[in-house]
Amino acid sequence: MHPCLTCGACCTMYRVGFHWSEAEPELGGVVPRELTEVLDGHRLAMKGTWAKTPRCIALDAEIGTYSRCSIHPVRPSVCRDVPASWEHGAPSPQCDKARAAYGLPVLTAADWPVVQAPGSDAAPANEPVAPELDHDDDPSPPTRPPLAA
Ligand code: SF4
Ligand code: SF4
């Protein structure tokens, strides 16, 4: 089983911010707008992730037991961009920090039946529930909102 399906930690650890166009159907956006909130002049955030104790509104999980993203096919790009550690042959600090926060062991190469080389463009072995984290590897939840642009 894909490790993310029994985890979900990162969906409760980071602010999930992304460009507003990802929720704009006229521009090809597919993220459900009603599950987002305005982060600043250029970005939206998944509801629940811009909080002192983040938890994405789209997450259906008991962390460490089972996890699924209820909007997996239309999740934000940042959720697709953050891999689980060693899924593609390299560690993921965001994954490691999220799992450690729940006392879960960090993933290693041994958790993957086939480890791909870094930079490989091969398709993932499975679809993770990996959040983006606003391209910010600080796992601390925001203590105050950023200023709008
Ligand atoms: S990317 Fe890492 S922290 Fe996130 S759900 Fe998968 S295993 Fe858990
Ligand atoms: S993958 Fe992204 S959209 Fe889905 S539950 Fe996790 S943070 Fe939310």
From 12, 79, 132, give the residue whose CB has the most ligand 2 atoms within 8 Å, as the site to mutate. Answer: 79
The pLDDT score that the predictor gives to residue 119 is 54
Q: What angle do CA 58, 14, 106 make, to 5 degrees?
A: 100
The pLDDT score that the predictor gives to residue 82 is 86
Quick one: 59 exposed, middle or buried, by C-beta within 10 A (0-12, 13-18, 19+)?
A: buried
A 10 A CB-CB count for 24 gives 14
What tens-digit pLDDT sequence spans the chain (149 residues)? Answer: 899 999 999 999 999 999 999 999 999 999 999 999 999 999 999 999 999 999 999 999 999 999 999 999 999 999 999 899 999 999 999 999 999 999 999 999 999 976 455 554 433 333 444 445 554 444 444 333 333 33
The pLDDT score that the predictor gives to residue 117 is 54
| Pocket lining for ligand 2, CB < 6 angstroms | 11, 16, 46, 56, 58-59, 69, 71, 75-76, 79, 129, 131
